[in-house]
A = this chain, B = another copy of it.
Amino acid sequence: MTEFPQTSTLLVSCPDRRGIVAALAQVLHGHGANILDSDQHTDTEAGVFFQRICFDTRELLSDRTSLERAIDEVAERMGMRFQLSDSSTRKRLAIFVSRTDHCLYDLLLRQRAGELRCDIPLIVSNHPDLKPVADQFGIDFEVFPISADNKPAQERRELERLEAHGIDVIALARYMQVLSGDFVEHYPARIINIHHSFLPAFSGGRPYQQARERGVKLIGATAHYATLDLDEGPIIEQDVIRTSHRDSVADLTRKGRDVERSVLSHAVRWHLEDRVLVYGNKTVVFPG
């Protein structure tokens, strides 16, 4: 659903127990919030409760702070983790790239078309090649060449720049460098990577080559949160495309670009709209 100018989104998870839905509904109703859309799920096996509530804030009876305090009180009682976002506050996205531009252009154009509710103040790269693209869109482009020697130092500088730009979330748009554990820990469940295979098949390098050698009839792409273990983070979205014996590695690469673009942009949009909850090594994605 395209959301309205003045809405808030509440995303919660907690150990399953009775009365959570009622308690939250009561708090929101009591503060004059009109619920527009809510989606709730309980993983009965894991005993975990998840909910996403989108509500109209135009006729709130109290201010934002007192509403948040009331939710906080419920959260404490229920052992709940929650996140409250306002449609008026746009998240700030940094895009990391190397030399290929298809995912970068896709995110920039979607943001400009209003599909991605965020600001994009910064593009980071280990190569200077894509600066002209950043320039066209009027976005800062900062280059941090990475070598075995300078990696820790460069990552520290990157983190400084991210902080200076007030970055909330990072999209690795075919960024061909492995981030260190240190770096990743600064943005838990906030760095979205695109891998060009339907993981867990063909993890690691050259997945199209691997796919062609195995003779699969589908190739895919996977967007996941970056974690310490490469290609092992919680999966947000996956899709595939059909291939045939006529497809060379160049054809697979072309087809793959379409899937990568689509899968990465979905994952980023859902993250920006607070539709994704991580638990264990999995995600709950509330569709929209």
A residues with a Cβ closer than 8 A to B are: 1-2, 4, 18-22, 25-26, 28-29, 32, 34-45, 50, 101-102, 105, 109, 113, 115, 136, 198-202, 214-218, 220, 234-240, 244-248, 250-251, 254, 257-258, 262, 280-285, 287-288
Contact = CB atoms under 8 A, between A and B. Distances in A.
- Interface residue SS majority, chain A: mixed
A-B CB proximity, top 7 nearest: A215-B282, A22-B29, A22-B25, A201-B201, A2-B250, A25-B25, A245-B284
A203 to B, nearest CB: 10
A257 B113 contact: yes
A19 B29 CA distance: 6
12 contacts: A1-B247, A21-B28, A22-B22, A22-B26, A38-B39, A136-B136, A214-B235, A215-B235, A218-B239, A240-B240, A245-B285, A246-B288
A199 B215 contact: no
A50 B148 CA distance: 47
A279 to B, nearest CB: 9
Contacts of A236: 217
A128 B76 CA distance: 57
Contacts of A280: 215
A236 B244 CA distance: 10
Contact of A42 (B36, B41, B101, B281): B36
Number of copies: 4
Contact of A237 (B36, B113, B217): B217
A254 B28 CA distance: 31
B251 A258 contact: no
A36 B44 contact: yes
Nearest to A45: B248
Contact of A39 (B40, B200, B214): B40
Given A21-B29, A285-B244, A262 B257 contact: no
A40 B42 contact: no
Contact of A35 (B40, B216, B262, B285): B40
Nearest to A239: B218
A202 B199 CA distance: 10
Contacts of A215: 234-235, 280-283
A216 B199 contact: yes
A32 to B, nearest CB: 8
B39 A39 contact: yes
Contact of A240 (B21, B101, B218): B218
